[in-house]
Amino acid sequence: MCGQCGHIAYSNPKIVVGSVVAHEGRILLCLRAIDPRKGFWTLPAGFLEEHETPEAGARREAREEARAEIALDALLAVCAVPHISQVQLMYRGRFAAPGFSPGPESLEVRLFAWNKIPWNELAFPSVKWALEHYNQSRDLGFFAPFSNPV
């Protein structure tokens, strides 16, 4: 709080939105071209913008990072990452139009079969969590969103 004018400046957590995009049994991953974790694989995800719905943000991130037009099927997980002050909303998605290619924040984008996912080269623990949540829910039409693993 400012001692002169009384203005209160809040320091709130950041909201991250993204998606696990599946196509013909394979998962879309992006090789990061930026830090943090440049050169590691991630899901298309990033910070929610002001005046944007989480769903619109997840679709925008897929366009920006993978040049992919996607449709969202369901909210997959809500995970808290308090040590970096983030709340992450991950969706389950699919391609709404054919085609994908690297955007400016990706060195490469690729579809991986489940048994070919580079688990030791994933950028963040939350990417692994989202992939595991997807695997648990991929055959379910309706499910409650997951949260942080125990």
Reading phi first (left if > 0) and then psi (alpha if -120 to 50, else beta), residue 28 is in: beta
Asked if residue 6 has pLDDT above 90, the reply is: no
Contact 72, 55 (CB under 8 A): yes
Domain ranges in the chain?
Answer: 14-137
| Segment 71-81, tens digit of pLDDT | 999 999 999 99
Model pLDDT, residue 3: 84
Kindly state the average pLDDT of the residues 37-47: 98
Asked if residue 123 has pLDDT above 90, the reply is: yes
Given this structure, which CATH class describes domain 14-137? alpha beta
CA atoms within 13 A on the CB side of 70: 32
CA 59 to chain centre: 10
Q: Tokens for 98, please give them.
A: 């054919």
| Segment 77-106, tens digit of pLDDT | 999 999 999 999 999 999 999 999 999 999
Q: Tokens for 95, please give them.
A: 């391609």
